Amino acid sequence: MTPPLRIGLAGLGNVGAGVVKLLAANADLIARRAGRPIIVTAVSARDRSRDRGLDLAPFSWVDDAAELATRDDVDVVVELIGGADGPALTLARRTLAGGKALVTANKALLAHHGLDLAADAEAGGLALKYEAAVAGGIPIIKGLAEGAAANRIARVYGLLNGTCNYILSRMEAERLDFATVLAEAQAAGYAEADPSFDIDGIDTAHKLSLLAALAFGSRIDFAGVAAQGIRALALADIDQAAALGFRIKLVGLAEHEDGALFQRVHAALVPLGHPLAATDGALNAVVVEGDFVGRLFFQGRGAGEGPTASAVVADLIDIARGQPGPVFGMPVGALTALPRADASARSGRYYLRLIVADRPGVLAELTAALRDHGVSIESLIQRGGDDTTAMVAMVTHQAREADVLASLAQMAASPVVAAPPVMLHILDL
């Protein structure tokens, strides 16, 4: 009988506990699909005394997670610690140096160190798998690396952060402001005590940089992702978007065009007829556009114990079958260092929102700023604010981003503008 694949598990939070539960609950099915049993032999976590609702007696406990990399009873290390550096990076490096395969759900680790780790794995003929690092249970890594491998991918984009999607969905459905929904999301465990990585777009940027590398055969360029989150959004923006036929979503977008790489995370107005607009709550969704396959749409739960554990175990099954595969779809030496695209030269439509003094002549001054930079208005809505201010929301026709930004800078410098203007992109894809 083929011996079992023996797992050393670092991190026993929700996902780690979910991996243990899934391997136990579906042990027979997993063994048949993997061609051999997959068992946990050793575990490590920060707090040994914490009640996780699991019987950990069958497993060896290791206080220092890095020791998992050197144990004789471990074939594969599963890293669920988190963080770009520190113990997670130490464990990853020692695991590969020790000749063991590595499975991780750590998008920050890979966004910062993925190329070096991939080179180490390649040199040792080892598997480095990370399906759980992007979009939870959605098989987007396998979809890009295998299912769409024959295609030139022009664009990959989507909703990659369930916390932001949950907040925006609740703001719209329940007519609540951003601060209220964020506080309730934190209380319910949907958002961290410090939500900056989520609401400022950093989490999405980590994931997007990995998808871009896979999609375009490029070297990871996390530093090249322009990230802007959802802190500046008001309920009024949600309302105006709805009135104009859109829904606001935090979108991560990567494109390969004219030999350059464009990567951006931004709040965008998504047309109601687009499949991303119907992706509500904590769901994730990803769109891939290939030259022969056309548009592919992936949707599902992007986080949580079950979906993320499912992705981890799927990677373990691949390893048990002896299917390592190149980490980013091709050998590290074949990945291209793409130049960064000039965002200012891009054209599109834009939503602009301004709080202005409520007095005659203000609209003329705003439209003059747009006219001065060759930007025309497709639609405009003005709403009363308090006794002295009004809100103006506009959608532009197609315009160069540099021209729209110049118009906004001119408006922001005017004494009639009472607060920093807000600009959102319109997703015309």
> Is residue 212 within 8 Å of residue 262, measured between CB atoms?
no
The pair of structure tokens assigned to 281 is: 């709550």
Q: Which residues contact 398 (CB under 8 A, 6 or more apart)?
A: 347, 348, 349
Q: Are residues 88 and 51 in the same domain?
A: yes
Measured distance CA(281)–CA(13) in Å, rounded: 23
CA pair distance 63, 48, nearest whole angstrom: 8
d(CA 177, CA 154): 36
- pLDDT tens for each residue of 130-165: 999 999 899 999 999 999 999 999 999 999 999 999
Burial label, 291 (beta-carbon count in 10 A; 0-12, 13-18, 19+): exposed
- CATH number for 169: 3.30.360.10
List pLDDT tens digits, range 278-313: 999 989 999 999 999 999 999 999 888 999 999 999
User: Token pair of 6, please?
Assistant: 């023996």
Residue 190's pLDDT is 74
Q: Which class for 151: exposed (0-12), middle (13-18), buried (19 or more C-beta within 10 A)?
A: middle
Same domain as 264, residue 351: no
Task: Note whether 145 and 113 are same-domain residues.
Answer: no
- The domain tally of the chain equals 3
Regarding whether 71 and 145 lie in a shared domain, the answer is no
- Lowest-pLDDT range, 124-128, 214-218, 356-360? 356-360
Residue 236 CB neighbour total at 10 angstroms: 16
What are the E-state strand segments in 278-404? 283-290, 294-301, 347-348, 350-357, 377-384, 389-396, 399-400
* CB 140 within 8 Å of CB 311: no
Tell which of 133, 154, 182 closes a domain: 133
Chosen domain end from 94, 113, 133 = 133
Residue 213 in contact with residue 335, Cβ under 8 Å? yes
For the purposes of burial, counting CB atoms within 10 Å of the CB of 415, is it exposed (0-12), middle (13-18) or buried (19 or more)? exposed
What mean pLDDT is reported for the chain?
A: 94
Q: How far apart are CA 78 and CA 297, in angstroms?
A: 28
Examine the pLDDT at 56 and tell me if it is beyond 80.
yes
Q: What percent of the chain has pLDDT over 70?
A: 100
- Residue 302 buriedness (CB in 10 A; 0-12 / 13-18 / 19+): buried
What mean pLDDT comes out for the span 391-417?
A: 94
pLDDT at 268 over 90: yes
| CATH number for 99 | 3.40.50.720
Q: Read off the CATH number of the domain in which 418 is found.
A: 3.30.70.260
The reply to whether 382 falls in a domain is yes
CA distance 283 to 381: 31
Quick one: how far is CA 38 from the chain centroid?
29
414: exposed, middle or buried (Cβ count in 10 Å: 0-12, 13-18, 19+) = middle
**327 is a domain residue:** no
Q: Residue 49 is which amino acid?
A: S
In this prediction, residue 183 carries a pLDDT of 92
* Given 107, 129, 142, 207, the catalytic residue: 207
Q: Quick one: average pLDDT of 255-261?
A: 94
Q: Are residues 226 and 211 in the same domain?
A: yes
Q: What is the Cα 25 distance to its own chain's centre?
A: 29
249 is catalytic: no
Q: How far apart are CA 166 and CA 179, in angstroms?
A: 13
Residues 127 and 144 in one domain: no
Confidence grade of residue 1 (pLDDT, cut at 50, 70, 90): low
**How confident is the model at residue 381, as a pLDDT?**
87
Q: How far is CA 54 from CA 21, 50, 210, 303, in A?
A: 8, 10, 33, 21
Boundaries of domain holding 378 = 345-426
Per residue in 338-388, pLDDT tens? 999 999 999 999 999 999 998 888 899 999 999 999 999 999 888 876 778
Last residue of a domain, one of 133, 166, 200: 133
- Give residue-wise pLDDT tens across range 177-191: 999 999 988 887 778
Decide: pTM greater than 0.85. yes
**112 and 161 inside one domain:** no
Q: Is 86 exposed, middle or buried (0-12, 13-18, 19+ CB in 10 A)?
A: exposed
Whether residues 284 and 357 fall in one domain:
no
Per the CB < 8 A criterion, the answer to whether 48 and 115 are in contact is: no
pLDDT at 385: 66
The residue-averaged pLDDT of 318-343 equals 94
- Whether residue 182 contacts residue 194, with contact meaning beta carbons closer than 8 Å, is answered with no
User: Average pLDDT of 313-338?
Assistant: 95
CB 31 within 8 A of CB 321: no
Whether residue 128 is found in the same domain as residue 153: no
